Structure 1
Amino acid sequence: MSWLWAIIVGFVLGLIARAILPGKQHQPLWLTTVFGILGGVLGNAVAGWIGVAETRGIDWTRHLLQLAGAVAVVGLGDMLYLQLRGKRRTA
């Protein structure tokens, strides 16, 4: 069941990250989901490093770090995807 939640949360994080980033992202939806999962894992790791991974109540700091990680991974992943596909971003 944890894999299902990882996919759902990764999908949501990826979509929110795409909405936050300016311009159009060119990666397919399944890759956005993968980038969202990786961003969530990165945010959880950072939350653990700074000591806010386990708090009482809703972990707003951890969730914001997950979103920040997703924005970073989706942004970098889109650039890498465009380079691998042979298309360069002009704007």
Structure 2
Amino acid sequence: MRSMVLAACGLLLAGLAGCQSDAPYANGSPFYDATISANPYPRGSEAFCQQYARQTAANYYDGQSDPGDSFGAQVFTEQRARTQGDAAYRRCRARR
């Protein structure tokens, strides 16, 4: 769980630094290293689950965000996306 907290902090800092401009998502993505391509890690591994969580969060964010949204709406959408990513990580580690 500590690694997820550290990863979340890193993602937040990367987003604040403006590192999402090259993201492949239409609305950009505050989730560092989230890619649209297939997960390259062995299914069930820690790396696979972390990437799955990033992809889930980024996909949720991309589907729910709008570049015209207010800052508050963007923050809310990002937090909800993080919740979705955390749930995906737990499902993956439980092998569900």
Q: TM-score range by the shorter chain?
A: 0.3 to 0.5
Q: TM-score, normalised by structure 1?
A: 0.47
Higher-Rg member (1/2): 1
- TM-score, with length taken from structure 2: 0.45
